[in-house]
Amino acid sequence: MQALRRTRPMVAAFGAGSMQRCLDESLVYAQRRRTMGQAIVHHQAIGQKLAEMRIRLDAACQLTYLAAWLAGWG
């Protein structure tokens, strides 16, 4: 059980890092891709999806920090 307590924050950090990379790539794509004469990042639905991704990423990071802090306290 002790091994799980130590590895869970690392797995969470890997997941948060992967999410960050996905968000970065999505932003680049949304800025480059154009429809109806403008970048798709300016479309409301795409902006909302990207904002939701950022919110979930921030939540994942905070939960990762919490898990690491709790693991540090034993």
CATH of the domain at 58: 1.20.140.10
Report the predicted TM-score, pTM, of the whole model to 2 decimal places. 0.84
**Pairing outcome for strands 34-35 and 38-39:** antiparallel
* CA 47 – CA 50 distance, rounded (Å): 5
Mean pLDDT for each consecutive 10-residue tract of the chain (74 residues)? 78 95 97 94 96 97 93 80
For 32, the domain range is: 2-72
Alpha helices, H only, the chain: 2-32, 44-72
Using CB atoms within 10 Å of the CB of residue 67, give its burial: 0 to 12 exposed, 13 to 18 middle, 19+ buried.
Answer: middle
Q: How many domains does the chain have?
A: 1
